[in-house]
Amino acid sequence: VKGIRDFYDLDMSLNGKINNLIEDGNKVGVVHYLVHSVDLKSVNRLIKKGLFEFLNQAQRDGKIKYVGFSYHGAKEEFDLLIDGYDWDVVMVQYNYFDENVQASVEGIEYAASYFSAFR
C-alpha cells in the first residue's frame, strides 16, 4: 500500500512489472496477480484508491488473467475478504501445528466452497 495513491499508481506499478516480463522479445501478461498480505484495513485503503476498478480494468485489458490475495490474519476477516470481491485465487498461511490460527481449516473450507461455486 505504501506509495500507492490512486488507480494511476496501481496501473503504473503493474506496467513496470509487465515491462520486465519479456519472452522471445515480446512482452507477456501476468497470469496471477496477488495483492499480498492483506487485511481489512489495508484492503479498505486500497479500495478507496481504486483497487477493484484497477483489477477489473487490468483483466479487461488482458494484462492479468487471475486476481487474488495472500492472507495471514484471523478467520473472521478472511471470510469478509473472500466475500468482498470476485477473486480467482487466494493464498493463505497454514499452520500445521495449530490449525485454528490464521484463516484456519474452517476458513480454507469456506474459500474452497466459494471458489468451487464459480467453477
Residue 3: exposed, middle, or buried by beta-carbon count in 10 A (0-12, 13-18, 19+)? exposed
Per-residue pLDDT tens over the stretch 6-65: 878 888 888 888 777 766 677 666 778 888 888 889 889 889 999 999 999 999 998 889
- pTM recorded for the entire structure: 0.78
Q: Return the SS3 of 119.
A: coil
Distance of CA 99 to the CA centre of its chain: 23
**Angle formed at CA 115 by CA 68 and CA 48, multiple of 5 degrees:** 40
Q: What is the structure's pLDDT at 69? A: 93
